[in-house]
């Protein structure tokens, strides 16, 4: 939940809001460039080719034309922003160096279109971005200087934080992002759960936690899209999302750099928590671009309870 900004004559736009946050001009510029790039991604999602691109990514997953197009839109925007030194994308095999001089620069890790396979059944998808100062992308997520996602759903919303709380902007009919929620805050616990992965592959510990949630009356809400599923928990301020360690994939499915760190940063900024079952996601040091990790993310008490049930069992 968050404070709805008072109705003001002038809708607060993103750049004006950022300038009021007393952050560096370079970071304001970077965040605005990403917001601008999302408008071209929206156009691609709405009208683009839904076919396959005939290529595969680092994980050997077939890339959809939309994945490749969205990645190219974001990468070009970041390359020419003048404030980015290194780029890592879920759709690229390695880090892309824009400049070797990290002074005053940022490095960006992003998933250009998470859940892209959902576009052809008209379900919500999103862009996820994590921002680091300097040139090191393989540092713990706790060192990030900002994170954001753009959710392409019935409405287009953008949620960001630079460490001073979580804010939501919604795109209006002129394709401008205007402030719709300030200082989003999560409740201590909630009644929604988003259980990723095949139940037949759950560990006994995770199975026990799911049964606990069901017995206490939590409602299952799962779309298969990380961004809309997290957004629901964040904006309603209640619940927990998990993509756990599975018997056939002990590190779960989701990627630490491109999916988990940015969302963990935002959820912690809103008073929630995110763990791999043993330690906070943001304290993990990525061993490589393709590192995956189990995740339990959402209300603090729900995440703590999950850790209790897991009893120290983690990848």
Residues lying near ligand AFP in the complex (CB under 6 A) are found at 114-117, 196-197, 224-226, 253-254
- Identify which of residues 29 and 253 has a Cβ nearer to ligand AFP in the complex: 253
The least distance separating ligand AFP from the CB of residue 217, rounded to whole angstroms, comes to: 23
The least distance separating ligand AFP from the CB of residue 113, rounded to whole angstroms, comes to: 7
- Identify which of residues 91 and 135 has a Cβ nearer to ligand AFP in the complex: 91
The least distance separating ligand AFP from the CB of residue 6, rounded to whole angstroms, comes to: 35
- Identify which of residues 103 and 121 has a Cβ nearer to ligand AFP in the complex: 121
Closest CA to 276 of 240, 315, 238, 304: 315
Q: Which residue is nearest to ligand AFP (CB)?
A: 226
Name the packing angle between helices 25-47 and 65-79 (round to 10°).
160
Helix H or strand E segment including 271? none
- Identify which of residues 105 and 289 has a Cβ nearer to ligand AFP in the complex: 289
The least distance separating ligand AFP from the CB of residue 149, rounded to whole angstroms, comes to: 11
The least distance separating ligand AFP from the CB of residue 192, rounded to whole angstroms, comes to: 15
For the chain, strand residue ranges (E) read: 52-56, 62-64, 84-89, 96-97, 106-114, 125-133, 146-152, 156-161, 167-171, 177-181, 192-195, 219-220, 240-243, 273-275, 295-298
- Identify which of residues 116 and 161 has a Cβ nearer to ligand AFP in the complex: 116
Indicate the SS3 state at residue 61: coil
Indicate the SS3 state at residue 132: strand
């Amino acid at each position: 939940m968050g404070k709805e900004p008072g109705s003001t004559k002038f809708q607060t736009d993103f750049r004006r809001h950022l300038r009021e946050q007393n952050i560096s001009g370079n970071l304001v510029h970077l965040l605005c460039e990403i917001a601008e790039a999302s408008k071209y991604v929206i156009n691609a999602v709405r009208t683009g080719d839904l076919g396959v691109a005939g290529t595969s990514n680092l994980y050997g997953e077939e890339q959809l034309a939309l994945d490749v197009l969205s990645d190219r839109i974001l990468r070009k925007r970041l390359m020419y922003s003048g404030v980015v030194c290194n780029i890592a994308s879920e759709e690229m095999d390695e880090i892309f160096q824009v400049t070797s001089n990290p002074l005053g620069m940022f490095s960006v890790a992003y998933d250009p279109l998470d859940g892209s396979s959902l576009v052809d059944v008209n379900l919500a998808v999103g862009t996820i971005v994590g921002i680091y100062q300097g040139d090191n992308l393989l540092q713990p997520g706790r060192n990030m200087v900002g994170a954001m996602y753009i959710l392409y759903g019935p409405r287009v919303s953008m949620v960001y934080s630079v460490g001073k709380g979580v804010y939501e902007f919604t795109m209006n009919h002129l394709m401008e992002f205007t402030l719709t929620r300030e200082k989003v805050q999560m409740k201590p616990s909630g009644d929604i759960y988003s259980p990723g992965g095949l139940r037949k592959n759950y560990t006994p510990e995770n199975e026990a936690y799911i049964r606990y949630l069901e017995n206490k009356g939590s409602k299952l809400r799962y779309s298969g899209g990380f961004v809309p599923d997290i957004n629901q928990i964040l904006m309603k301020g209640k619940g927990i999302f998990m993509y756990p360690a599975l018997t056939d994939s002990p590190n779960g499915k989701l990627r630490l750099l491109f999916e988990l760190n940015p969302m963990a940063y935002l959820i912690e900024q809103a008073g929630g928590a995110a763990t791999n079952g043993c330690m906070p996601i943001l304290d993990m040091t990525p061993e490589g671009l393709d590192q995956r990790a189990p995740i339990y993310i959402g209300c603090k008490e729900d995440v703590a309870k999950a850790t209790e049930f897991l009893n120290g069992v983690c990848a």
